[in-house]
Amino acid sequence: MNGDTSGYGGLVVRNDPIAASQRPFGGAFDSIADAIEAALPNHAQVITGVVIDRDQMIVQVQRDRLLEFVRVLRDDPALRFEVCLGVSGVHFPEQEGAELHAHYPFLSITHNRRVFVEVTAPDADPVIDSITSVYPTNDWHERETYDFFGIIFSGHPYLTRIQMPDDWSGHPQRKDYPLGGIPVEFKGAQIDPPDQRRSYNK
């Protein structure tokens, strides 16, 4: 036992990576793609790929074109994605140059549709534009993603930690974050480091 209780431990996923999908996508996905292409004449410079997986549409967008793209999602009558349901971070340390991913779920109440937007950033430059100027309700979601993954949302009105203390070192949901060894007390109880906890492998 190496003391890693995260379940990660350098885990290698042996499934084939999900590749970009090709037209026709099927269902309402083609009409969403048609509307995006009609609203964005330069869509080839904005969108890097579209993935259809598990009945979900994921549009991969260049990080420096994110604000332009989400304004079109919100404002174009054929799209009208009025609601952004937040942003989640994902850390893929093996994807050199694109280690940090930000995933945004969008909902169109008008057309009763959903679409996901994905943006990547490298560990060396973990900066993505804040979309709070377009979707103000993303304020706390961006703060949480910054807190846990270290993605810096440029232009956010008050990008500070929201869960961890202000002086906390590191971002605890990254896969390279060290586990254990931090004394945490709950009403006098002490949490043992991972390598001293009960093993379920015996």
Indicate the number of domains in the chain.
1
Peptide bond into 193 cis (omega under 30): no
The verdict on residue 4 lying in a domain is no
DSSP code for 103: E
Backbone angles phi, psi at 75, to 5 degrees: -95, -25
What percentage of the chain reaches a pLDDT higher than 70?
Answer: 79
Neighbour count for residue 144 (Cβ, 10 Å): 19
177 domain residue, yes or no: yes
**Is residue 188 over pLDDT 80?**
no
In a domain, 18, yes or no: no
Residue 151 is assigned to a structural domain of this protein: yes
Q: What is the pLDDT of residues 7-62, one digit of tens each?
A: 566 666 666 556 778 778 888 899 999 999 999 989 989 999 999 988 899 999 99
Structure tokens at 167: 């002086």
Assign residue 176 the CATH number of its domain: 3.30.460.80
Measured from the Cβ of residue 1, the count of other Cβ atoms closer than 10 Å reads 11
According to DSSP, the β-strands at 56-61 and 113-121 are parallel
